[in-house]
Amino acid sequence: MNPQRGEYKFNVEGVGDVILRLNMGSLAEIEAALGCKTVGEMVVRIGNLGVKDVLDILRPLVEAGDNEGLPPLEDWPPVFGEYTVAIGECFFASGFLRRPKEESAGPNSEGQ
C-alpha cells in the first residue's frame, strides 16, 4: 500500500483487506459514472452520494488497487459509512482533495 500513489487500505468484514487507488483511469471512470463533465462538477457530486454512486466510485478504485479474489461489490456488506470514509481517504491520499484546515484550538479546547 502506497499513499503517494493515491492508495488507501481498509478492511471490509467478510471481504478482507481492500486497497483503493485513485489514478487517472479510475478518475475518468468515476467522472463518467457520475455523469460529470468537469472535475468541479465531480467534487460537488461526491459531496452528495447515493448507494449506486458509492458502487460507481468504489468499482474503479478497487480495480485500480489490483485486488484479487474479492467478491463482487454488490455482495459486500452494506456498510455505507465505511465506504464513504474509505473513498474520502483515498481521494485525500492521492492529493485530489485536500483536507479542510482544522480550526485553531481555542481557549476551551481539551488540553488547554
pLDDT at residue 106, rounded to an integer: 45
pLDDT at residue 3, rounded to an integer: 64
pLDDT at residue 39, rounded to an integer: 85
pTM score, whole prediction: 0.82
> pLDDT digit string (tens) for 5-30?
789 999 999 999 999 999 999 999 99
Q: Which helix (H) or strand (E) holds 88?
A: helix 80-94
Per domain, the residue ranges of the chain are 3-94
Q: How many helices (H) and strands (E) does the chain have?
A: 4, 2
pLDDT at residue 102, rounded to an integer: 65
Give every residue of the chain whose pLDDT is below 50, as ranges. Answer: 103-112
